[in-house]
Amino acid sequence: MNDTLTATKAKSAFTAASLPEHPLFRGMGERDRHILAECSMQATFEPGTLIVETGDPANCFYLIISGRIGLEAPGGLSPLRVQTIGAGDVLGWSWLFPPYYWHFNAMSEERTETIFFFGSRLLQECDKNHEFGYELFKRMSRILISRLQTTREKWIEAAMFTPPRIGLPADYLII
């Protein structure tokens, strides 16, 4: 009797050639696109689906093909809408940085088609192939910087309508 359990590897929904045209992939070599394709699958979210929640473990990212997702930062009285992202945008960079937890809530606002990428598998590939890791990190960093700038702008905007707190400098949210 064979006590060894074996499972067939799940077939990716994409190949290096069938990944959509997107700035995240543009100019990447065939080998790097192949790694991304092998770590991907299709994912669909119905309206009102909580896709990721602040504080939960982050081990993936999504490329939005169609639909809209609202990003919110938890707030004292109510969540603060940071950004609405849609087709062509990427959701998720928290899988890249310890402690690997989501920093925003993300909820689908309409039926949303995405490509799901296994971040934990991609990190393993980055450890094995530093050139791939560097290339992916550069590309994901652009998304991170954009998201942080948008968040900063929203906080500054919110601070304009909030009375200043005693003892805090006037520019405490501009840092």
CATH number (domain holding residue 151): 2.60.120.10
Is residue 76 a part of any domain in this protein?
yes
Is residue 79 a part of any domain in this protein?
yes
Question: How many folded domains does the chain comprise?
Answer: 1
pLDDT single digits (tens) 44-83? 999 999 999 999 999 999 999 999 999 998 877 888 888 8
Is residue 7 a part of any domain in this protein?
no
Specify which residues 107 forms β-bridges with. Answer: 50, 70
Residue (of 95, 97, 89) closest to 150 by Cα position: 89
Is residue 172 a part of any domain in this protein?
no
Is residue 19 a part of any domain in this protein?
no
Is residue 2 a part of any domain in this protein?
no
What token pair was written down for 7? 């499972």
Q: What is the mean pLDDT of the chain?
A: 84
Instruction: Answer whether residue 3 shows pLDDT above 60.
Output: no
| 131 compared with 151, residue with greater pLDDT | 131
pLDDT single digits (tens) 79-97? 888 889 999 999 988 899 8
| 68 compared with 7, residue with greater pLDDT | 68
Is residue 52 a part of any domain in this protein?
yes
d(Cα 128, Cα 155) in Å, to the nearest integer? 39
Instruction: Give me the pLDDT at residue 39, please.
Output: 95
Is residue 72 a part of any domain in this protein?
yes
Domain, as residue range, for 85: 30-160
pTM, to two decimals = 0.78
